[in-house]
Chain A
């Protein structure tokens, strides 16, 4: 197998007396969808926050494309090419689709208006936003100036995913992308995730939904008690086994253990 895109070794993070990460390892390979599953409190959200720059681990090392990385903020992780789609989506409901896609990285006009008065190039932002949405097959969204809060839950998820795919050059992390959605909308979002993978971006998918995980993941990272318990392939184990590993009801076979 080739080099991991994103790798972590022996990550540790304590909150007071609570150990959220206890020497956790992590590997994400090029072009794959890696699902991260774990019981509540297993520390998977802390792991994801460490990878996306929202939390700084107390100890351990992380590498992106082989380069050591230490992010002090999500901004730095983004600048390095790691985009995260948060469960809350991090969209501003009252702002338009185009404004949201470029929130925090707006394009300024070239020339003096942009340089001295900070004028935004709204035409370019609209055009690129529309293009990114249609690349992912989301162009049934007609009005790019529409407020995000007038969209359905799945459409909002679509905008957040399109934003991550548009700017994430190395890794896209998705936190529970289908948790708030109905059956049909979940279906569309899963297709969207496959579409993003087809464009060559590796994806870290955090989900509680076992059928979704088993359907689209290439590998499954099982997190338990603050560390990686094992990595399994959806074809090799059953859903109930994966849940049993996750909850500690069953020990993974030696060969799979991390």
Chain B
């Protein structure tokens, strides 16, 4: 295991000769989010050419934003967990459970929205904290923990809701506040919703936390090498619990946005949200092995999925080819991540 001597004189010199491909690899290693940025740019150009002006109409672009709002927020929560080298299969289940809880409290029990919404946030935090405690205290793999809690939360959600949806009119009558993120405002021919603004705000806040605070550096360190982080004096279990709890809170905020997006509350909604959030994160260049990638990648990943869906639909392509294309995108994204990480060795 002798690392190569890079130069003759000193070990602290950096003049390494690199091939063109090696330089690309080193660049992407430093800026992993550039891959999804390029993919997003290319797909915008491609669909602009295929689908024509309709694709680039302000209305369509703002529609894409609306369509990715809920999955984008789930992807933000998912990113936090994946950065710690974990995975959270329960994000969508936490979100739907929260929508149902808020709906039951505000609409069925008639509590004011000002109480039902904070209680909903508490439900999300509690679910996330449960995941975090199981991962750290019982030392179970996150995949298994969240596979279990996914089922548990889904069952609770069916029980609380009685498997019944809450109709849009009932929400309007009792707690219109729950649908605030579905409201839109026109701006230069667009139809932006407050949900889209919320999406951007969540990513902005998480970016700040991850990149500009000690807590964020610790999240990366724990995902990168947990033992090293522990030895460096980081209380890794505490960091992990806080990550799962924050992910739960983000899911709960996503629940609020989801009620606005759907208009109604359904215990059966967003059943594929878990996997869609992972898709967005992976396409966004965040490493499933933890510690690498930018949270903004997940936003771009979600937008790429939205752009593919919108572009292929406008081009009149059968929906199955969207699924086909996204599938390949996932595989290519992970392959690129593997390649980038080889810079290290």
The stretch among B41-49, B152-160, B211-219 that forms the contact with chain A is: B211-219
Chain A residues near B215 (CB, 8 Å)?
118
Residue of A nearest to B229 (CB): A92
- By the criterion CB–CB under 8 Å, are B213 and A120 in contact? yes
- By the criterion CB–CB under 8 Å, are B11 and A155 in contact? yes
- By the criterion CB–CB under 8 Å, are A119 and B213 in contact? yes
CA distance A118 to B217 in the complex (A): 12
Asked if A184 is at the interface of the complex by the 8 Å CB criterion, the answer is yes
Tell me whether A153 and B3 are in contact in the complex, defined as CB-CB below 8 angstroms, given that A92-B232, A95-B221, A158-B12 are known contacts: yes
What's the tally of chain A residues with a CB closer than 8 Å to chain B?
46
Chain A residues near B228 (CB, 8 Å)?
88-92
Chain A residues near B10 (CB, 8 Å)?
140, 188
User: Which applies to chain A's interface (DSSP): helix, strand, loop or mixed?
Assistant: loop
CA distance A184 to B11 in the complex (A): 7
Asked if A41 is at the interface of the complex by the 8 Å CB criterion, the answer is no
Asked if A103 is at the interface of the complex by the 8 Å CB criterion, the answer is yes
- By the criterion CB–CB under 8 Å, are A106 and B214 in contact? yes
What's the tally of chain B residues with a CB closer than 8 Å to chain A?
37
- By the criterion CB–CB under 8 Å, are A103 and B29 in contact? no
- By the criterion CB–CB under 8 Å, are A182 and B233 in contact? no
Residue from the list B5, B232, B344 in contact with A182, Cβ < 8 A: B5
The stretch among A26-34, A142-150, A242-250 that forms the contact with chain B is: A142-150
CA distance A91 to B228 in the complex (A): 6
Chain B residues near A122 (CB, 8 Å)?
212
- By the criterion CB–CB under 8 Å, are A117 and B213 in contact? yes
Chain B residues near A90 (CB, 8 Å)?
227-229, 231-232
Asked if A66 is at the interface of the complex by the 8 Å CB criterion, the answer is no
Asked if B86 is at the interface of the complex by the 8 Å CB criterion, the answer is no
- By the criterion CB–CB under 8 Å, are A105 and B233 in contact? yes
Write the nearest CB–CB distance from A102 to chain B, whole angstroms. 8
- By the criterion CB–CB under 8 Å, are B224 and A119 in contact? no
- By the criterion CB–CB under 8 Å, are B12 and A92 in contact? no
Write the nearest CB–CB distance from A190 to chain B, whole angstroms. 12
- By the criterion CB–CB under 8 Å, are B217 and A103 in contact? yes
CA distance A188 to B7 in the complex (A): 13
Asked if A185 is at the interface of the complex by the 8 Å CB criterion, the answer is yes
Chain B residues near A147 (CB, 8 Å)?
29-30, 344
- By the criterion CB–CB under 8 Å, are B344 and A150 in contact? yes
Chain B residues near A143 (CB, 8 Å)?
14
What's the A-B contact tally at a CB cutoff of 8 Å?
122
Asked if A216 is at the interface of the complex by the 8 Å CB criterion, the answer is no
Interface residues of A in 155-197 (CB under 8 A from B): 155, 158, 180-182, 184-185, 188
Q: Can you list, as one digit per residue, whether each of B1-34 has a CB less than 8 Å from chain A (1) or not (0)? A: 1111110101111100000000000100110000
CA distance A80 to B274 in the complex (A): 46
Chain A residues near B5 (CB, 8 Å)?
152, 182, 184-185
Chain B residues near A202 (CB, 8 Å)?
none
Residue from the list A94, A139, A182 in contact with B3, Cβ < 8 A: A182
Residue from the list B214, B225, B233 in contact with A92, Cβ < 8 A: B225
CA distance A188 to B233 in the complex (A): 27
Name, among A91, A104, A140, the residue most crowded by chain B CB atoms within 10 Å (CB to CB). Answer: A104
- By the criterion CB–CB under 8 Å, are A106 and B217 in contact? yes
- By the criterion CB–CB under 8 Å, are B212 and A120 in contact? yes
- By the criterion CB–CB under 8 Å, are A95 and B227 in contact? no
Tell me whether A92 and B1 are in contact in the complex, defined as CB-CB below 8 angstroms, given that A104-B232, A119-B213 are known contacts: no
Write the nearest CB–CB distance from A129 to chain B, whole angstroms. 13
CA distance A94 to B220 in the complex (A): 8
Chain A residues near B221 (CB, 8 Å)?
92, 95, 99, 103
Asked if A123 is at the interface of the complex by the 8 Å CB criterion, the answer is no
Chain A residues near B3 (CB, 8 Å)?
152-154, 180-182, 185
Asked if B326 is at the interface of the complex by the 8 Å CB criterion, the answer is no
- By the criterion CB–CB under 8 Å, are A152 and B233 in contact? no
Chain B residues near A140 (CB, 8 Å)?
10, 12-14
Q: A54-B231, A92-B291 are in contact. List 12 more A-B contacts (CB 8 A).
A: A74-B231, A92-B229, A94-B220, A94-B291, A95-B291, A100-B232, A104-B232, A118-B215, A139-B12, A182-B3, A188-B10, A188-B11
Interchain Cβ contacts under 8 Å between A and B, 27 examples: A88-B228, A92-B224, A92-B228, A92-B232, A94-B220, A94-B224, A94-B292, A95-B291, A99-B217, A103-B217, A103-B233, A108-B214, A117-B213, A118-B212, A119-B213, A120-B212, A140-B12, A142-B14, A147-B344, A150-B26, A150-B343, A152-B4, A180-B1, A180-B2, A181-B3, A182-B3, A184-B11
Q: Which residues of A contact B (CB under 8 A)?
A: 54, 74-75, 78, 84, 86, 88-95, 99-100, 103-106, 108, 117-120, 122, 138-143, 147, 149-150, 152-155, 158, 180-182, 184-185, 188
Q: Which residues of B contact A (CB under 8 A)?
A: 1-6, 8, 10-14, 26, 29-30, 208, 212-215, 217-218, 220-221, 224-225, 227-229, 231-234, 291-292, 343-344
